[in-house]
Structure 1
């Protein structure tokens, strides 16, 4: 039996309609789907006949080991199946993509990558704040808050720093930001469950960041620090629409296919 093929698909950071059209079409071709913990269950509608295998990873809780995921990818693809590896956000951003690609390459199995919307972009959209600003916001750094040794990773490498997986480390992150030279009045924006209908946006600065724990407790959070966290002056929002509201899909809108009853 000839080897199958693995498609790494970025599911986006939240609700199912944030997947790309290319990603949705590729998902529909799969006979096996290995999916992350934070992917929307509504995505099953695109591959209802496929075998769905939970390989989710969650910080500080029970997770599927990376070696086990690598083995499953090779096993399923070796049967000749088209395997979708459905990753939250974008596969290439803190998604351990290289490790899985390497395992497949060593087994002689081909793969491809379909990009997705990463959480930093969803957080910027939720808060209506551009990550780059003409004149004073020319660089952006994407950083995972926790290292493999579970040490907090904070620094001052760009005009805007976006920290992933920081929800349980907000107080410590504030201390490390101050130690790295960020002034206490540097703007900070925290968005939890970015891209979901129940997303929450809150404004702080480096000095008051620990208070964000009261708002975002127990929720996956993205923390933006610096120029990209600064509110846009006199920004306008459509009447009746707040951060976290989900606009209703109109008749004939392709996004309506993603709407759950």
Structure 2
């Protein structure tokens, strides 16, 4: 059915964690039908090529500087919906995982816009996965927590303390500024040797990885100059990465030997 551009509509689309290939086909179709695209800082700009005829407006945040505040973004969605038609709100990862997508949809619906949601691949899953870190593994981890490291009050989430007591894999987003506090909580539970991976700019060409333990990770972060945007993964599943890398190295050596024979 051809979309009537006089009817105001908002589609909140998850862009995935950074690699442009990780957006869904449904997300691409939404971009192709957009009259306006409002996109965030962590969105791969290659995705905007799928909306060449749409007005494209950057509404993200870089290094703490806002182009638009959240209230202004909400108002812009509604204004452009009524004046242009189909607004696509393109957000990194999955907009329903610490992405405020639900809030924007609610505001748009209250102001007369039809709303639709297109899920994205969450960075909490894909970024560790790209580094061969599974969030669950039989015999190692039966569950996982995904927690925001910093709340709207700029404090560490109380859920981190609860997660530190569990045997689950713990994935912390937006937590680099609270790393010292996170480490302290895990040490209080006697988990000094628990493996930790920190992945910066995951799934992009600028990706950087630091792997250590609760005891060593702060030094590793300093030595490798790791910073936001980054994901912190704590759990024995981090060891899977080294196992895979070792096996791949062995395969490569054997393949080189066969080729040279």
Asked if Structure 1 and Structure 2 have the same fold, meaning a TM-score greater than 0.5 normalized by the shorter chain, the answer is yes
Distance 1:199 1:106, change over 3 A: same
Correspondence for 1:253:
none
Correspondence for 2:212:
204
Matched, 1:178 2:187: yes
Contact 1:170 1:209 in 2 (8 A): no
Correspondence for 1:25:
29
Once the two structures are superposed, the pairs formed by residues 65-144 of structure 1 within 5 Å of their partners are 65-144=69-148
Q: Describe the SS at the equivalent of 1:151.
A: coil
Higher Cα Rg: structure 1 or 2? Answer: 2
Distance 1:3 1:228 in 2: 48
Distance 1:168 1:233 in 2: 27
Deviation >4 Å, runs of 4+ = none
Contact 1:192 1:216 in 2 (8 A): no
Unpaired runs of 5+ residues, structure 1, are: 241-261
Q: 2:202 aligns with which of 194, 204, 213?
A: 194
Structure with the largest fraction of helix: 2
Correspondence for 2:178:
169
Matched length: 239
Distance 1:90 1:62 in 2: 21
Correspondence for 1:254:
none
If the length of structure 1 is used for normalisation, what is the TM-score?
A: 0.84
Correspondence for 1:230:
239
Matched, 1:44 2:48: yes
Distance 2:67 2:138 in 1: 41
Matched, 1:213 2:222: yes
Distance 1:92 1:123 in 2: 17
Unpaired runs of 5+ residues, structure 2, are: 253-261
If the length of structure 2 is used for normalisation, what is the TM-score?
A: 0.84
Q: 1:160 aligns with which of 156, 169, 172?
A: 169
Distance 2:150 2:67 in 1: 16
